Homo-oligomer: A and B are copies of this chain.
Amino acid sequence: MTTIKDIARIAGVSVATVSRVINESGYVNTDTRKKVEEAIKLMNYSPNEVARSLYKKKSKLIGLLLPDITNPFFPQLARGVEDRLQEHGYRLIFGNSDENEDKELDYIRTFVQNNVIGVISSTNFPDSDTYLNLNIPIVFLDRTSNESPSVYADGREGGRIAAQEIIARGSKHITILQGPAHIKPAQDRFQGAVEVFEELGMTYHVIQTSSFSYIEAGYWAKILFEQHLETDGVIASNDIVATAVLQEAHRLGKSVPQDVQIIGYDDIPLSSLLSPSLSTIRQPAYDMGREAGGLLIKLIEQDKVDEKIIQLPVSFVERETTRRK
């Protein structure tokens, strides 16, 4: 591998001068600069980031921790983060936590060991020591914690909207699928929906689900209609579960949205391709990722950041699993 010494030798200067050229710092004579640049081009040299990082105690790497990239909501977050950071020359070290605190801790440790300059995390444990003791900027994504920098969409409001819309469209026997208990945003949206029913004094049913996995989604859908066959409106905990409910409704000969209305959550890309296409509460996942990236960059590059907590709007996307008002 070509090193700065090689370049220095070829250009007939010292390593300090080469470094100055690379970093555009300090004084360098125009002719000298030219010689160095030629040597760099000749050898196709690019500086070793590891050496840089060691001295500066800062790399160009950022740690990204997501629960599970296999859940189609998260790739969009990841993509948003990456696109934003890439524009500023930062790169990602990536890990899936599986909502598991130990795995998270392990990843965070290796992030730190690799001198990452910041972390973006969708964690269920934002208040753990791991994060409190972290002395690099951290942004919570799709999660919040007190005054910590975070980017998220208003889950409670999303839940409220889902309930309001499905009620306004005439469902009387509504079942809410409550997402996994340990996942904060899932509980927020559930609470939001429940609130609306309580406020209106309406009854509703709840099916508690314990994971967001594809395999189990079908199971919950079955349970739902087994326990509450009269259900004519379903507020699903996310679009995957909603898709499973849609399938189960078909299987039972119920037509959607005439017999049963369904509202999903997230607006994953496939929602619009289902038949009937899925009405859902949209979270602007890609933008959330971008915002998180942007916020982290600010935290890294600036002393003061005013808006450390960014809440993005959720919205009802009316498609074909709900009736017209």
Binding site for B on A (CB under 8 A): 1, 46-51, 53-54, 57, 59-61, 64, 68-70, 72, 74-76, 78-79, 82, 86, 91-96, 107, 109-110, 112-115, 214, 217-218, 240, 243-244, 246-247, 250-251, 269-270, 272-277
Measured CB to CB, the closest approach of chain B to A99, in angstroms, equals 14
Contact present for A61 and B114 (CB under 8 Å): yes
Residues of B contacting A59 in the complex (Cβ-Cβ under 8 angstroms):
50, 114
Contact present for A214 and B247 (CB under 8 Å): no
Contact present for A93 and B93 (CB under 8 Å): yes
Pick from B49, B240, B244: contact of A110, CB under 8 Å = B49
Contact present for B69 and A78 (CB under 8 Å): yes
Residues of B contacting A57 in the complex (Cβ-Cβ under 8 angstroms):
1
Residues of B contacting A78 in the complex (Cβ-Cβ under 8 angstroms):
69
Contact present for A91 and B82 (CB under 8 Å): no
A94-B94 contact given A69-B78, A110-B49, A275-B246, CB 8 Å threshold: yes
Q: How far does the alpha carbon of A78 sit from the alpha carbon of B250 in the complex, in Å? A: 33
Pick from B69, B74, B113, B269: contact of A48, CB under 8 Å = B113
Which residue of chain B has the shortest Cβ distance to A57 in the bound complex?
B1
Pick from B70, B246, B269: contact of A269, CB under 8 Å = B70
Q: How far does the alpha carbon of A274 sit from the alpha carbon of B273 in the complex, in Å? A: 10
